[in-house]
Amino acid sequence: MSTCCLTIVLVHAGNECKLVDPKSKGGSCTSHKECLYPLVCYHTICSERKPDNGTCSTNSDCASDVTKMKCANGQCILEAANGESCVNRNCVDTSDCLNDVCSSKDCSDDDECGLNYYCSESKCIKATPGGSCSKDSMCLVNEVCSGDKCVEKYSGEIGTVCHSPEQCNVYDGYVCDKNANICKRNSYLDKECYVDSECGGGSCACTGSNKVCVGYDGAMSISACKDMSETVAKCLIDNQCTRTLPETCPKCYNDWLCYQFRCNSNYASDPTYSSLDAKCPKITTTKPKVQTPVNHNNPATHEENENSNSNTGFTLTYSSFLILILSLLTFVLV
């Protein structure tokens, strides 16, 4: 008989996270995310973006994945998409220029149609304010589809019936309870986390030193952001912007970008966009009133998390310095 004992010690790495400092102009890079906005990585060097009609030999010279320009006849060209003016631009291949506006001739998904439009029966259809819907893209940018009807985004207060996360005022720290279908305060905000499922319907975001829970899709709990979102959405609708690009939506682009930077942790915590801090107006960062601490031993407060973890076959318990040890796993070989 021979016995082999194997001991495994598994230590949780914690919720630390590190954000890499972006490179200034002239710095070496391998991707756009390594360069300080609005620089792009061009031939392994952080460089200024090619302007419209700038010289190029390939699409990558135009940073097409960022600028949406393509290289044609040796120049970086931004073609007009559905709903955009074609007075001084050619339309993309899937659109025709009709009455000085690009109109999609054969769409296959909503992304081809742009903001405030959706694809139906291979045609881009303009969204109707407060109209009937079956998905968010059938509504305007300041609306969300809830109960087959387009309703105002972020309008739900505590107790409001909801069917979509963005129906509740995420900037006041609310979340749509997916079981009760009502807006409630998210008691997990600002708590340390490891994954999104720990945040009660919110997101687990990196702050540069650790991870904490923020609102749905990265929303930060700053009350002023709701007004900011309404202002930006109105600008996009009034100016018929179907894409948030500086060339296609010049009147709204900077405000949209500053809104993202001030109100969305995906931008605010990304060092790439740190250059915006001096360019974007400061906003009052007053947060909603302090939340009542929850008893995390109460199964009711963990209902959403446990539902999220149910597919794993076991329930994980987390703490600020979680260490999971599997020890003395013994295999007896006879």
295: pLDDT strictly greater than 70: no
Residue that wins the pLDDT comparison between 298 and 253: 253
224: pLDDT strictly greater than 60: yes
36: nearest Cα among 276, 250, 263, 208: 276
Range ranked top by mean pLDDT from 289-293, 310-314, 325-329? 289-293
319: pLDDT strictly greater than 80: no
Domain extents in the chain: 32-77, 137-278
156: pLDDT strictly greater than 70: yes
Residue 64 is predicted with a pLDDT of 93
38: nearest Cα among 280, 273, 277, 259: 273
298: pLDDT strictly greater than 90: no
- Give me the phi and psi of 231, to 5 degrees please: -65, -45
> In this prediction, what percent of the chain has a pLDDT beyond 90?
71
Residue that wins the pLDDT comparison between 57 and 8: 57
80: pLDDT strictly greater than 70: yes
Residue 35 is predicted with a pLDDT of 96
* Signed CA dihedral, 153, 204, 258, 236: sign only: negative
Average pLDDT, the chain: 83
Cα separation of 295 and 193, whole Å?
A: 16
Confidence grade of residue 16 (pLDDT, cut at 50, 70, 90): confident
- Contact of 124 with 104, CB cutoff 8 Å: yes
Residue 241 is predicted with a pLDDT of 95
Tell me whether residue 301 is exposed, middle or buried, using C-beta atoms within 10 angstroms of its C-beta: 0 to 12, 13 to 18, 19 or more: middle
Q: Burial letters for 26-37: b for 16+ Cβ neighbours within 10 Å, e otherwise? A: ebebeebebbbb
- With tokens 């801090």, the residue in question is 277
- With tokens 């756009």, the residue in question is 32
Residue 15 is predicted with a pLDDT of 66
Q: Among 81-95, 137-151, 222-236, 320-334, which stretch is predicted with the lowest mean pLDDT?
A: 320-334
Q: Among 71-75, 115-119, 130-134, 326-330, which stretch is predicted with the lowest mean pLDDT?
A: 326-330
221: pLDDT strictly greater than 60: yes
- Give pTM, 2 decimals: 0.79
Q: How do residues 235-292 score in pLDDT, each as one tens digit?
A: 999 999 999 999 999 999 999 999 999 999 999 989 999 999 999 999 876 555 443 3
Residue 285 is predicted with a pLDDT of 65
293: pLDDT strictly greater than 50: no
Q: Which residues contact 192 (CB under 8 A, 6 or more apart)?
A: 15, 210, 211, 212, 213, 320
Please give the distance of CA 268 from its chain centroid, rounded to a whole number.
11
144: pLDDT strictly greater than 70: yes
- Contact of 236 with 256, CB cutoff 8 Å: yes
324: pLDDT strictly greater than 90: no
